[in-house]
Amino acid sequence: MLKVDILEANEIERAATVFHRDGFVCVANPLDEERFALIRSGAERVMAEQEAEFGRDKMNRGFARHSFGSQLHNWEWCVLIDLPTILPIIDAIWGSDDYTCTGAGGDYSLPGAKIQHLHSDRNADLFNDPLGRVTHHDVPAPFIVINFTMVDFTVENGAIRFIPGTHRSRAPIPSLEEEPEWMRTNHLCAPANTAIIRDVRCWHGGTANHSDMKRPMTSVGYHAPWHRAVEEKSLPREHYDRLSTRGQRLCRHIVAAG
């Protein structure tokens, strides 16, 4: 099992230091009681809808494992955009508050899900250097995702696993068959309502869900101040209008036309 410190939200500089070192950092209780109950109820509803639609055999991450997909049409996910417990840490990581929200979603595993191969969420190179000297591994985090644990993450229910320090690695990611045992068992176990702030390049993967419970985590993502991409207009105008001034600025590239 992976041993990590779960920091308090006010440990801003320490959180930024751990993030730069490991490629991720965990923060306790990012959501107040009301927000946590709201997003958890939304996750339960969408999981039930998607399981009814696809069944466990046809889920998009393998048997009993599924990505929520874009969920900003559901207000529950919008509450993750401008959390006062999280944004100061992102500000410190990037040394700026001029980054942008890319969307919100997450994933989940159901009982019976198998172990997932290690992977990075950013494989395409940003630079296409014709000399092959500079790749996206050579720059600070271009894309940060914050995952929120909706239940206690344990070895039994398929906690996500991480390989610290791989966010800047050019080494090839091993296949599931090639992984050493310590990588297969590097579970990040954490209580419900923990934020995992991660550089999406850091190697990670789901593990087998041997429990009788669902293991959901919701998410929100941000692009670095220096990184721009064509974004899906996934945020309905009526939800955008309910956001704070900061939230609206974060979402300026993803709000749908009124």
Rounded average pLDDT over 108-123: 94
DSSP class per residue in the chain? -----EE-TT-HHHHHHHHHHHSEEEEE--S-HHHHHHHHHHHHHHHHHHHHHHTGGG-BTBTTEEE----TTSHHHHTTTT-TTTHHHHHHHHT-S--EEEEEEEEEE-TTPPP---B-S--S-SS--TTS---GGGSS-SEEEEEEESS-B-TTTT--EE-TTGGG--SPPPPTTT--HHHHT-B--B-SSEEEEEETTS-EE-----SSS-EEEEEEEEE-TT--------B-HHHHTTS-HHHHHHTTTTBPP-
231: confidence class by pLDDT, cuts 50, 70, 90: confident
Threshold 0.85, pTM exceeds: yes
65: confidence class by pLDDT, cuts 50, 70, 90: very high
pLDDT of residue 154: 98
CATH top-level class of 6-122+137-250 = mainly beta
**pLDDT tens digits, 116-147:** 999 999 767 778 888 888 888 889 999 999 99
More confident residue, 129 or 48: 48
Q: Which of 101-110, 115-124, 231-240 has the lowest mean pLDDT?
A: 115-124
Nearest 5 degrees, angle CA 122-CA 209-CA 53? Answer: 75
Q: pLDDT averaged over the chain?
A: 96
Q: Is the pLDDT assigned to residue 258 strictly greater than 80? A: no
